[in-house]
Amino acid sequence: MPAIPATAVANLRDLGPLPLGEGRGVRPGRVFRSGRLDRLDSTDPVVASLGIRTVVDFRTAAERADRPDHVPDGGRLLVADVLADHLATSGLPPAARLKTLLGDPVLAQEVLGGGKVREAFARTYRAFVSTDSARAAYRAFLTELGDPRGGPLLFHCTAGKDRTGWAATIVLSVLGADDETVMAEYLAVNTAVRQAFAPMVEGFTAQGGDPELALALIGVVPEYLTAALDEVAVRHGSMEKYVRDGLGVPDEVTDVIRERLTVYAA
């Protein structure tokens, strides 16, 4: 789905009304995804009209301290740090270091040049599935989404493409979306992310940075998502078992998510 044109929130998107097949779609106005909310203006009529009641922040403590969320009026914040374990064992992955890496072309080339950027992102996506902190974060997210009394929910990370992209994949899989729909939604963020990070990319290349490396940092490609899906297949066999056994989300919660987020054609 196209981005919602909010001036203060990058890459803001409604998962509805994505098609789910057999006359079904994602119910609009219930679940949104975006980049960071540090510039969110609750008086923005576009944002105010969404009626967001819960914000789920997937970022690390360092990211949150650097650019704290501005939560919509009347909303509450749920912190669900996906990468806490990855940080403890491997340091910050590229998904959580975009500002630093795009500000230092020499460091970016040293750490991620020569094709290493794609390998690094693939490792991070596998960690979305395998680490305890990621499982806890996505379990908390789905539990919140499966609250029958819950209102509209927005989930995000920094750019709204990696940790957020995997969260959207989980939701769409729970709702029964086919592989093509899941991948199309995942890749659809590229235009909005490139627009949001255009000034940083221009600065990066002006300092002699490799433009292809910059685009690999701020964009998404099918192999990133495929790495996480492969990790699910190896560890759990299916997305259904990953949600139930890997994340520990009871069937009754996923049933509520399906009820809340599915709309049927008239």
- Give the residue numbers marked as catalytic: 157
Q: Tell which residue, 158, 157, 82, 169, has the closest CA to residue 127.
A: 82
Cα dist from 201 to 26, 119, 187, whole Å: 34, 21, 19
Burial label, 117 (beta-carbon count in 10 A; 0-12, 13-18, 19+):
buried
**DSSP 8-state symbol, 246:** I
E strand intervals along the chain: 13-14, 19-21, 24-26, 31-34, 54-57, 76-79, 153-156, 262-264
Cα 183 from Cα 187, distance rounded (Å): 6
Calpha distance 182→220 (Å, rounded): 13
Spatial distance between the Cα atoms of 90 and 99, rounded to a whole number of angstroms: 18
User: Contact at 8 Å (CB) between 163 and 64?
Assistant: no
Give the β-pairing of 76-79 and 24-26.
Answer: unpaired
Please state, in angstroms and rounded to a whole number, the distance separating the CA atoms of residues 218 and 11.
Answer: 12
Which of 12, 255, 40 has the alpha carbon at shortest distance from 148? Answer: 255
Q: DSSP string spanning 212-243?
A: HHHHHHHS--HHHHHHHHHHHHHHTSSHHHII
